[in-house]
Amino acid sequence: METKSIQKSIRMTPRIYKAIEGYRGDGFNDKLANLVTDYLNRRDELVADWNRLQAAVTDKHQELKAVQDHLRKLRAVDARLEPLVEALLDLVGQGVVN
């Protein structure tokens, strides 16, 4: 175990104080040390998770864009075929096509 050879007096906001007081540990110093130690131990892992999530969001955005492009093309085909379908329905309705 490391010796605690550094002594500091700090000022903090009530929000920071409340966060430290709510952390695990026996006293304020222990809680603050646990909070900082946990942060240092998990920081690299959290950054890696964040980067993986950002990459996944980028991939999903590209997939969504591809689906939207495909849908736009289908709508264009539908718009071009609509007059033909209506004309065929009119012919069927007149009894011209059996």
pLDDT digits (tens, 9 = 90+) for 17-57: 999 999 999 999 999 999 999 999 999 999 999 999 999 99
Both tokens of 84, joined, read 């033909």
Rounded to whole angstroms, the Cα distance separating 35 from 16 reads 11
Cβ atoms 48, 42 nearer than 8 A:
no
Question: Residue written as tokens 């993986």?
Answer: 52
Give the residue from 41, 43, 37 showing the smallest Cα distance to 24: 37
Q: Element (H or E) spanning 50, and its range?
A: helix 28-93
Whether pLDDT at 10 is above 60: yes
